[in-house]
Amino acid sequence: MEVQWVLVCHGMVTLTVVVSFLCGHSPIFKGTPIGWIHYFLTFGAWDYLLRFVEFVFGSKGTDAVLSVESFCCDRPNPFLQIIYLLILGSTYFITVKSSFAYIPGYYIGEVHKYMSFGAVVIGVLLFLLTSFCDPGIVNAKNVSQYVSAYPYDDIIYSEKECPTCKIPKPARSKHCSICNRCVARFDHHCAWMNNCIGEKNTKYFMAFLLWHFILCLYGAVAIGFILAGRVKELGIVHILTTYYGIENSFRSLAPRVLQWLVGTYNTQILLLVFLALVSLLLAGFFAYHLNLCLTNTTTNEKFKWREYISLQKKISEAKASAAALKAGMSNTDLERSSKSKWRGLWRRSEAKAEAIVAKRNMYDKGNFRNISEIVFPLSSRQAFQKPSHKSE
């Protein structure tokens, strides 16, 4: 029973931390434990650590910690790449050591020993492709190619020069402060890949997320079949009903069988819970980025559109305030009117924002064409087309 409660607590804590980290910034969690945990994980813990280091070691200790932070977060480094390989390798090793002895089993064949190894190898290959593939670096030689591939919309992108690279800044590009280079169709800098996600490697990044979701789900389901096979092979249901007099119904048997599994195969249960949680996390990331791909938007552009909509809202508020003052409303009446108005609009703001982006996003050309731009980048198509024009 002690092991069972440890596993339950482990699962609940892990789920709470994951939900808090990913969703705690949402306004609906403001002032709730989820919001507090999110603040602690993203800002509070680091702030308390710096205060503690300064109290114990003084300013030199703080400077040392900040220099480590700069190396890990502000410069390209393979730290998280190594962490990824360690997590993947150790998870596969523990799975082999704890579960492969029961393959083949009642519900799972021996082929899964080899399928699982092949799936892990494909995952590593996709990781290497995303990490070391050119994300679409913009330089003086190819800048004209990118400028012609991505027109300016004069809303969130306008014609200007990159102050660092001293070259024209193509629409949809961004200068990555970590890599110190301009990247075409910039989405974000991925620390796990130690690389930017841009025009040329978004397809590999999407394949990486999808494959690792399938890999974790496959692992969780396979372990589930192994455990179900052990219950069948050892006749646990027969033993419980015949020798312990437990009623032969799912409601009566399920808790006892689960208790037996947790006590006997706790490593496999931990692996199953871990893989299931990670698969849910990866499914969320993949769904988010798939939605971006289908609408031909990037993470960077999401923030840009949010800033643009926020600015337009402030301008509208200022105009409404000026008009109300002209009409002779007092400051108190104006404040009450503004509060009631924006309280009603708050619920519809997200839907309105999405509608504005959908209407004004000139890069959204329909799902099929948007996906084709991910698979076959525009700049690459133009590079192939130019020689044919010359030959004519």
* Active site annotation includes 190: yes
> Which residues in 163-234 belong to E strands, given as ranges?
174-176, 181-183, 188-190, 195-197
Residue written as token pair 């709470």: 16
Cβ neighbours for 379, distance < 8 A, ≥ 6 positions apart = 136, 142, 145, 146, 149, 184, 199
188-190/195-197 β-pairing:
antiparallel
What stretch of H or E contains 375? helix 367-375
Cα 342 from Cα 219, distance rounded (Å): 48
Between the CA of residue 71 and those of 64, 66, 90, 138, what are the distances in Å? 11, 9, 26, 24
Q: Which of 162, 190, 196, 293 is catalytic?
A: 190
Strands (DSSP E) along 251-344, which ranges? none
Cα 196 to its chain centre, rounded Å, is 14
Beta bridge partners of 188: 197
**Can you spell out the DSSP letters for 325-343?**
HHTT--HHHHHHHHHHHHH
Q: How far apart are CA 51 and CA 57, in angstroms?
A: 10
CB 102 within 8 A of CB 229: yes
Compute φ and ψ for 183, nearest 5 degrees: -125, 130
| Angle in degrees, 0-180, between the axes of helices 202-233 and 266-294, rounded to the nearest 10 | 150
Return d(Cα 380, Cα 200) in angstroms, integer: 9
Q: How far apart are the first and last CA of the chain?
A: 79
User: Catalytic positions, please?
Assistant: 190
